[in-house]
Structure formats: structure tokens, C-alpha cells
Amino acid sequence: MEEIIAVGTDEAAMSAAEAVAESEGTVQTAPKKRKHHINQQKLWDNIWGWLFCLPLIIGTCWFIYSTLIMAFLLSFTTFRTGGQVSMWECLAHMGDYIAKDLTGATNAFYWYKALFTEKVSGMDRVTLIGMGIELNEMGAYLLNTVFYMIGIPIGMILSVFFAVCMSRDIKGGNVFRVLYYLPCVASAIAIVYTFKIMFGSTGVINQLFGLGNFHWISEGVEGAYTWQNLTGAPISTNAFMMDPYWCQGFFMKLVIVIMSVWKGLGGTIILYVAGLSGVNAATKEAAQIDGANGWIIFWKVTMPDLYPTIFYNIVTSVIGGMQIYAEPEMFMNSAYSGGNVMVSGYVALIYKYGINMKYASRGAAYGMFLAVIIFVLTLFQFWLDSRKKD
């Protein structure tokens, strides 16, 4: 009881002291937050940094984002390059230039519908062997593009192999890096015509492997060969060998894949060499002490540390592979004719209708569809990456 009375007395005394201090203005207030002084050097560094980035930001917004929006809007119209209506007038009065179907009825999605319904005619007709399904024009060109994507995993495997070899302490390692990188700085035109000569009917490849006058490349669909024409073999009933698209077209696309892998190998090797320099040496030494062989160290230590570089290369390679254009067109001399169904990639359709035939709105629709494909593939790769991290 005495303790309770003592506690109450102390609390009363403290309250009285606080009241007196408050009346005398001696109560301590919470200290005010001190203002942080701006670091002038850091401020100027940021200003100069943004100034140097400004041209890139403006260029990206104007030449990429704004054109992407304009192309998307034009894909719903009947705008043609070289016509009496300018692009700006078409966009300003878009309601008056909405696309129409063959009956004259307004159909804003007419060009997108044409993507899936336009047939390949005459010598350009493509049928899926064994299925009897006739591909439309977009399907045939898209199939060529997918074929070229085969070079991505081949290039990845070869570049990792050479990068690992070059990262070892061997004499002349820097010389090999320069030699492998030279194709990256060489002219694409020079490389294409070099391969055309090498894989010609009398080229070094046929002479090296004793293939006689095997025709790897033809100068157009009309000059395409079946298996009988290529080898002189008896007439075959095999649908693959009798169809120029699948027979001659296969070998032509194969040459382009080989050339693309060889041309892009050097740049990818340099990236992997840089990635290998960041592999944790202590972890490798610990694995060696534990008795792990070189193969186990590569898969369990090197590859996980190299994964960010591999992921970057895969993403950029897929984006670039879906946009292949120059090499097939130069191989077939069809850059000004709007593509060739034997080898041309999907981008050739954008040129064919958007520029060559001056159906800019149709070319814009093809471009939008390609953008969607690339966007979906990139999202899928990032989704796989997130699952791996989880």
C-alpha cells in the first residue's frame, strides 16, 4: 500500500514539474530536420548526363514510338504512298479513310484479315508436305523466318565452345579473337557474294566434297530445282524431292543459315569471353579440390554464372532473327521485287506492300503483326527466366 502511494506521489510531482516548465517556456521541443545541402558536383553530373542522353531519348521517341503509333493507325486506313492524300491528312481525317473490303463495305480490320487469307499463286504456291495444307502468303514467308531461327541455338553452342577455348591461357588467344570478330565488321554484301561463289555449282564447296555441279542456289522460283534436277537421280515420287520450295528452297535457306551463323559468331564470342571473366574463380577452385572434373565444373559453376550473358544473347538473337531481311534478298537478287517465297523472311512482306507496291496501310498491318510476334516471344522468354529464378 505504501508503494502505491509513493508511485502516485512521484507521478503527481512529475506532472507539476512539467506544468511549471511549460509555463516558463523551458519545455524541450523535437529538433527540426536539417536540410540536406545539394551536392553541386553530383547535380552537374546529372545535368550533363541527361544532356548527353537527350538526343537518344528524342530520337527514340520520334523515330520509334511516334512512328509505331502512326503505323498502327495507318493499318486501319487505305493510305497509299505517292497518292493524292498525305499521311498527315489521312491521320487527321482518319474516319474518311477507313479501310474497305472488296465489296466496298467499311472494314477497319481488312488488312489484318488479308494477312491470314492472302494466297500464294502460281509458282509461289506452298503446300505443307504430308498435310496437304496450302499456306497463305504470310505463312510461307513466316515459315522461312522460323527456319532461319535454327541458326540461333547452333550459334550459341559454337560461340560458348570457342569462348571457353579462348578464355584459357593459350598462346595467340587475342589473335583468334580478332580473327573470329572480323566477319562482324565486314560488309554484308561482300559476305553474301562470297558465299554465293563458294556454294555455286562450280564453287569450292562442291569441289571440296565432290558434289559435281550440285545447285545450292537458284536465281528465282522459275529456276528452282527438284531433287532430280539437283543430282541427276531418277524421278522420285517423294513429295519433298518433287517440290522446288521444299527441295531447292531447303538448301538455299541452309546456305543462308550457315552464313548467318558464321557472320554473327564473332560478336557473340566476345560477349561470352567477357562473361567468362566474371565467373567466380574461388568456386571453381573449391570444386576442383572436391574432385569435380572439367565437365561438372562447366555445368555446375561456369554455366550458372554465364546465364545472364546467355539470356541476353538469346533475347537479342530472337528479336534480330525475326527481322532478317537483307541476306535472303541479296542471295536471290529480289530486294527490288518485293521478296521471293523461296527464301525471303517476313520483313520482305512489309517492303513488298508498304513500299514497292505502295500499299502503306497494308505494309503497316504486316509490321504491327510482326511487332506483336516479337513482343509475345520476348515476354515468353522473360517468363521462363522468372520461373528459373524462382
Per the rule left: phi > 0, alpha: psi between -120 and 50, beta: everything else, 122 is left
Range 313-330 burial, b when 16+ CB lie within 10 A, else e: bbeebbeebbebbebbbb
Q: How far apart are CA 288 and CA 168, in angstroms?
A: 16
**What pLDDT is recorded for position 158?**
92
**What pLDDT is recorded for position 233?**
62
**What pLDDT is recorded for position 35?**
58
**Cβ proximity of 273 and 178 under 8 Å:** no
**What pLDDT is recorded for position 256?**
92
| Amino acid making up residue 35 | K
Query: Which stretches of the chain are assigned E, i.e. beta strand?
Result: 127-128, 133-134
**Cβ proximity of 257 and 147 under 8 Å:** yes
| Amino acid making up residue 369 | F
**What pLDDT is recorded for position 219?**
57
Quote the cell numbers at residue 333: 537478287
Q: Where are the alpha helices (DSSP H) in 232-359?
A: 239-242, 244-276, 281-289, 294-297, 303-322, 326-332, 347-351
Helix axes 137-148, 303-322, angle to 10 degrees: 150
Question: Closest by alpha carbon to 137, among 325, 344, 275?
Answer: 344
Which residues partner with 128 through β-bridges?
133
Quote the cell numbers at residue 206: 562442291
Read off φ and ψ for residue 134, nearest 5 degrees: -85, 125
Q: How far apart are CA 150 and CA 374, in angstroms?
A: 16
Question: How does pLDDT run across 139-157, given as a tens digit for each residue?
Answer: 888 999 999 999 999 999 9
**What pLDDT is recorded for position 3?**
46
Query: For the chain, which ranges sit under pLDDT 70?
Result: 1-38, 120-125, 129-132, 219-239, 334-338, 389-390
Question: How does pLDDT run across 165-206, given as a tens digit for each residue?
Answer: 887 777 777 787 788 888 888 888 889 889 988 988 788 888
Q: How far is CA 389 from CA 283, 304, 307, 310, in A?
A: 20, 11, 11, 14
**What pLDDT is recorded for position 163?**
87
**What pLDDT is recorded for position 6?**
47
**Cβ proximity of 365 and 115 under 8 Å:** yes
**What pLDDT is recorded for position 228?**
66
